[in-house]
Amino acid sequence: MTVTALFAPLALPAGFASFLPILLMIVVFYYLLIRPQQSRQKKWQQMLGNLKAGDRITTSGGIRGVILSIKEDTIQLRIPPDNLRIEVAKSAIASVTQDETK
């Protein structure tokens, strides 16, 4: 018995075998690119949902401040040292920073 005769029942149809590399690339792209991005997006949405007055935040532009009030899609910040008050979009929040005193 030859080796090809042993593996003949396991052979894939010619049409499916040509699509196998494409399917494999789609699966690899999903696990390397799409899935991690979805989990980062979910964490960011959760962080925005948990914001409250008094939290220290950093915007995507690098501005650091303390939240004074939260509206539906905007946030008022107090920026030290002059206690400047600005209003930024919620989508501009990059992260919640921890107090240095803790």
Tens digits of residue pLDDT in 16-27: 778 888 999 999
For residue range 6-51, what is the model confidence (pLDDT) as tens digits? Answer: 555 665 666 777 888 899 999 999 999 999 999 999 999 999 999 9
CB 68 within 8 A of CB 78: yes
Please write the tens of the pLDDT for every residue from 61-97.
999 999 999 999 999 999 999 999 999 999 999 999 8
Q: Say if CB 51 and CB 65 are below 8 A apart.
A: no
